[in-house]
Structure formats: structure tokens, C-alpha cells
Amino acid sequence: MSLFGRSPLVGKTWADGDRLEVAGTAVTLKVNRRARRVSLRLDRTRREIVATAPSPRRLPEAAAFARARAGWIAERIAELPDATPIHPGMTLTVFGEPVRLEAGTGRAKWLPAAGGEPARITAMVSDDFGGEGYARAVILMLKKRAAAVLGERTEVYAAMLGAPAPKVTVADAKGRWGSCRPGAHGQPASIRYSWRLALAPFAVADYVAAHECAHLMELNHGPRFWAHVKALVGEPKAHRAWLRAEGARLHAFGR
């Protein structure tokens, strides 16, 4: 008999990865066979709840548990940082340096720091889309900056490890700051980064580049992998802690 009584959710068929809504928040059901009990956790990056069950058979129980904890879910979501809209006049911190957003004409531009003034991003403001076009243009500049900086750091660390330089791309990944795919059939390895790392301090973003390059040598998180990371950037605990603490704020930017 279920711990949660005769909730209609218990009789429903659920599958790993299914989603439901509780207190206006998305809840994703997951099976983790190493788990000992049904549990809930907040995914700060995705701004959603993950309800975990030890087996597929107990997914209805996990769904019912999420419904029963609607108050807790609402409290956790309320604690997350508010969305940060993009508008002219605001100043961002990009890889640790200030960047001022300004209205401009023509295509968006990245203007380097000069004459004691910070770097600037200029883009056209159009009332037709309520600022959405301006935000897209600014994000495009940030993506280009992220690709340039992270691409350069990736080349440096790949060379230090004696590995061929991988292909580097940036995207708006929700679950990972970076991912590494090994080369195959004569093709180079590839590393993908979240462009939002541009909003992190340089040392933190640099750690992520070292982390992903270490995967060029070890496709795991075992002792030899961490030895490579530490050889490249030293002890990573502070950088990992920063991402855990501030990641939700980075993902709220531009939402």
C-alpha cells in the first residue's frame, strides 16, 4: 500500500523522464536504481524539481510525493534569483571584466575597452519586439566572446595535455557547463560549452575548460582525471562551489 494514500497519481502509469506540474513548477520523474527511497531535489539550473524513485514501479509514488510537497516546492522556487532582463544601460561582468550595454545602430558590435572606459556592446533597440531583438543581439555577442575565450583556453590545455585540439562550440545548455565527445573515425574530439560561462569569473570558466580538456585523456571522473585537472588549474573545489552557488543566477540572465 502506498505511503501517500489513494491519490489518483498513484494509479497512473509513469515512465522515467515524464513531467508533471506542481505549484506552477515543472517536476521531472527520474529512476535511480542506487536510490534507497523516493526523494525530491531542486535543479537550480533548470528551475525545476526532480522527483527520484529507486525503480520504475515506484514512479507513481514519486509523483504523489511531489504533489504532497507542493508547499516545499513553491518555497524552493521562490528562493531562486529572479529573471534578469537585458536592456541598454546595464553593466555586465564578462569573464570578470565590466561590459556596458548601449543602444546603437546597425548590427550588434563588441567594442573593446579603451581610454579608461569599459568594453561595450552596442545593438539596435526596436520597440516592435519589446526589447527581445536587443536581447538576442546582446546574447549573440556574448556567445561570440565565449567561443573566442573558451576556444583559446581549450587550445592551451589540449596542448599541455599533448592532445589534438578539439572542435569547440557554444550553446545554451541547461544541464551542463561543458561536455566532451571523443574523436572517432578520423574526426577530432569536440567540446561544447554553455555560453553563460562568459558571465562567470575568468578563473571559473577557465576551470571548466580544463575540466573538459581532461576528458580528452580520461572519459570518467576517476583519480587520473582529477589529477589532470589539478595539473592544469590546481585545486578545483572553489570553482565548483562557485558554479553551484551562482549557476542559477547565470541561467536567469536574459530570461
Q: Over 80: is that where the pLDDT of 54 sits?
A: yes
Give pTM, 2 decimals.
Answer: 0.79
In a domain, 37, yes or no: yes
Q: Over 80: is that where the pLDDT of 250 sits?
A: yes
Cβ atoms < 10 Å from Cβ of 251: 23
167-171 β-sheet, strand order: 167-171, 190-194, 178-181
* pLDDT value for 155: 98
Q: Over 50: is that where the pLDDT of 239 sits?
A: yes
* pLDDT value for 1: 29
Cβ atoms < 10 Å from Cβ of 225: 16
Residues 97 and 57 occupy one common structural domain:
no
Q: Determine what percent of the chain falls in helix, strand and coil, rounding each to the nearest 5.
A: 40, 25, 35
Of 78, 105, 122, the position where a domain reaches its end is: 78
Residues 16 and 138 occupy one common structural domain:
no
Of 28, 56, 78, the position where a domain reaches its end is: 78
Residues 146 and 54 occupy one common structural domain:
no
For 40, which DSSP code? E
Domain holding 53, by residue range, is 8-78
Q: Is residue 128 a contact partner of residue 137, using CB atoms and an 8 Å limit?
A: no
Q: Over 50: is that where the pLDDT of 5 sits?
A: no
Report the percentage of the chain scoring pLDDT > 90.
81
- Please state whether beta strands 97-103 and 48-53 pair in parallel, antiparallel, or not at all (unpaired): unpaired
In a domain, 40, yes or no: yes
Cell numbers 562568459 correspond to what residue? 198
* pLDDT value for 126: 75
Lowest mean pLDDT among 20-29, 80-89, 92-101: 80-89
In a domain, 62, yes or no: yes
Question: In angstroms, rounded to a whole number, what is the distance separating the alpha carbons of residues 240 and 195?
Answer: 17
Q: Over 90: is that where the pLDDT of 45 sits?
A: no
pLDDT bin (cut points 50, 70, 90) of residue 4 is very low
**Considering only CA atoms, which of 204, 208, 203, 210 is closest in space to residue 229?**
210
Of 55, 78, 101, the position where a domain reaches its end is: 78
pLDDT tens digits, 160-171: 999 999 999 999
In a domain, 224, yes or no: yes
> Residue 77: which residues within 8 A CB-CB, separation 6 or more?
23, 24, 25, 42, 47
Task: For residue 8, give Cα distances in angstroms to 11, 12, 62, 130.
Answer: 6, 7, 13, 42
Terminal CA-CA length for the chain: 43
Residues 109 and 225 occupy one common structural domain:
yes
